Chain A
C-alpha cells in the first residue's frame, strides 16, 4: 500500500485542564479527500494549527511527505508542499487579485530576495498566476482590488493562491464557509477534480459537501477522533449519531 502524504501520530495539546486535542492520529493518502468534521469546540482549529505549524503539540508528531515536520514552522511546511486555505480569508487586501496569486507563485519559486526587476512583468510568474485564476474562474477579476471582491470570490482566490504553490497536499479549513448554495456546489465540483492532483484534508461544516466529496471522514469530538470511515460507515455509526449528526440529520 502507498504511504500517506500526511500523517499525525498521537497529537496532544492541552490548554490548562482542557484537552483540546487528545491523541489524534490521522492520515491522508494520495488521491483522496479526507474530511474532518465535528461540532463547534471539538478542537478542529487546534488540530489544523498543529498540522500547519502555527501551534506546537504537547506531544505527538506530524509527518509530511515521508519526513517528520513536527519542529518545522509554517514557512518550512509550506515550502515542503503543504497548501493551506483559511477559514476566514487571509489575503493581502490592498493588492489586486493578480498580485495575490503572483505572490503565491513567487513563494513557490522561492527567489524572493530580488530587488530590481519588476515582479509584475515576470512572464513565468504571471503565467502560473493566470493559470490558477483561470482554474477557479477569477480571470475577469484579475485587476480588481482584493478588498472589493465578494466573499465568495475571496474564497475562490484563496484556493487559487494555494494552487500556485503546486502543493503535495491541501489543508482546507472550511472552504465553503459563507458560500451560497451555488457557490458551494461549484466549489464542490472543483475540489472533486482537484483530489487527483493532490489529496485534500478538508475541514468542513457543509455536510452535503462532505458526504459528496470525502473518501473518508473522521469525526472529532472533545479533541478525540471517535470514528473514521467512509460516508456510509459514518452515517451508520451510533456514537457519531448521538454525538454529532443528530438523529434528524441522518437520512
Chain B
C-alpha cells in the first residue's frame, strides 16, 4: 500500500468514525456536520474530474449542484402537495423516493452539462472560467425569478425523502446513505483516472497537441469528462437538498462554485481524496471559527494562501508526497 492509499483509508475511516461515535454519545449535530462534509466532498469529487484530471477550471459547477437540488425540490414539492408535475400529454407525478430523485438529478445534470460543455469547451483558459461562471449566474437568476418554486425564498420540503429499508429521518442512517454515495463516487473516479479514458484525459491537460497527434479528439474527451463530472455533482446536489430539507437559489451561486474549487485546492488538485480533506477542513473551520467571528472566511483565505504558496499538492500532497505516476 502506498502512503497515499494509507492516508486515504485513514480519512475514510475517520469520516465514518466521527458520526458513529457521535451517534452513541447522542450528538446529532456532529452527525449532520459529517453528512455535510460527505455531500460537499462528493460534489467536489465530481468537479475534480474536470479540474484535476482534465485541467479545466469550471467556475460553474454550482449549476449541477443546483440542478440536483431543484430536481429533488420540484419532485418532492409536487409529491407533498399531491399536485402532478404535468398532466398532458401524459401524467407525471412528484415523488418522495430517493432513488428516483437521484436518477432524475443525475440525468438532468448530465444533459445540462452536455449543453454547457459543448459550448464552453470550445474555449480555454480564462474564457472557459468566464463562460462557466456566466452559465452559473444565468441559472442563479433564473431560480430567483421563477416564483413557481419559491423564487428567492427557496422551496422547503417538510419531510425528508424516503429510501427503501431505511429510516432517513434518523441522522446516522441518512449519513450512511451519503457516505456510501461518496464512496461510490470516489471509487468510480479512481477507476476512471486509471482507465484508457483517464490516461487520455490526463494527457489533454498536459499537452492537448500530443493527444490529437495520436489521433484522439481532445474536445470529445473533455466533453465526456464534463458530463460525468456534472452528473456526480448533481447527485450530490440532490443529497444536499435532502440534508437541509430546503432548496434555495444559493445552491446555484458562484460562491458555491468557488467553494468547490477551494475544497480541491486545499486538499490537493487532482488527488483522489483532495476534495474530501478540503471539504472536511472547510466545514471544521466554518464550525469553529464561525463561532469566533463572522469574518471567519478571512482565516480560510489565509490558509488557502499558505497552501497555494507552500504546499502545491494541497494537504494530501503535504502528507503523502508528490503524486506517484500510476503503475
In the complex, A94→B206 CA distance in Å?
7
* Interface residue? B2 (CB, 8 A): no
Contacts of B327 in A (CB 8 A): 118, 120-121
Query: Quick one: which of A74, A103, A113 contacts B224, CB cutoff 8 A?
Result: A113
* Interface residue? A111 (CB, 8 A): yes
Q: What is the interface of chain A mostly: helix, strand, loop, or mixed? A: mixed
In the complex, A94→B200 CA distance in Å?
13
B312 CB to nearest chain A CB (Å):
13
B322 CB to nearest chain A CB (Å):
10
In the complex, A96→B203 CA distance in Å?
11
In chain B between 207 and 259, which residues have their CB closer than 8 angstroms to a CB of chain A? 207, 209-217, 221, 224, 228
Contact with B along A105-118 (1 / 0, CB 8 A): 01110111111111
Nearest opposing residue in chain B for A91, CB measure: B210
| Chain B contact patch, size range | 20 to 34
Contact A119 B213 (CB under 8 A): no
| B residues at A contact (CB < 8 Å) | 191-192, 194-200, 202-203, 206-207, 209-217, 221, 224, 228, 325-327
In the complex, A120→B35 CA distance in Å?
35
Contact A92 B207 (CB under 8 A): yes
Q: A91-B207, A92-B207, A94-B206 are in contact. Are A119 and B198 (CB under 8 A)?
A: yes
In the complex, A12→B212 CA distance in Å?
24
Contact B216 A92 (CB under 8 A): no
Contact A78 B207 (CB under 8 A): no
Contact B192 A112 (CB under 8 A): no
Contact B195 A79 (CB under 8 A): no
Contact A102 B199 (CB under 8 A): yes
Count of chain A residues with a beta carbon within 8 Å of a chain B beta carbon? 40
* Interface residue? A223 (CB, 8 A): no
B229 CB to nearest chain A CB (Å):
13
Contact B214 A119 (CB under 8 A): no
Nearest opposing residue in chain A for B203, CB measure: A92
Contact A84 B194 (CB under 8 A): no
A-B contact count (CB 8 A): 108
Query: Quick one: which of B191, B214, B228 contacts A103, CB cutoff 8 A?
Result: B214
Contact B191 A90 (CB under 8 A): no
Q: A103-B214, A108-B214 are in contact. Are A90 and B197 (CB under 8 A)?
A: no
Contacts of A78 in B (CB 8 A): 212-215
| A residues at B contact (CB < 8 Å) | 52, 73-75, 78-79, 84, 86, 90-96, 99-100, 102-104, 106-108, 110-122, 145, 161, 164-165
Contacts of B196 in A (CB 8 A): 106, 111-115, 117, 119, 122
Q: A93-B207, A94-B325 are in contact. Are A115 and B200 (CB under 8 A)?
A: no
Q: Which of A91, A92, A102 has the most CB of B within 10 A?
A: A92
Contacts of A107 in B (CB 8 A): 211, 214-216
Contacts of A52 in B (CB 8 A): 213
Contacts A95-B206, A103-B211, A115-B195 known; list 19 others, CB within 8 Å. Answer: A73-B212, A74-B212, A75-B215, A91-B210, A92-B202, A92-B207, A94-B325, A102-B199, A103-B203, A106-B216, A107-B214, A107-B215, A107-B216, A112-B197, A113-B197, A114-B195, A115-B196, A119-B199, A120-B326
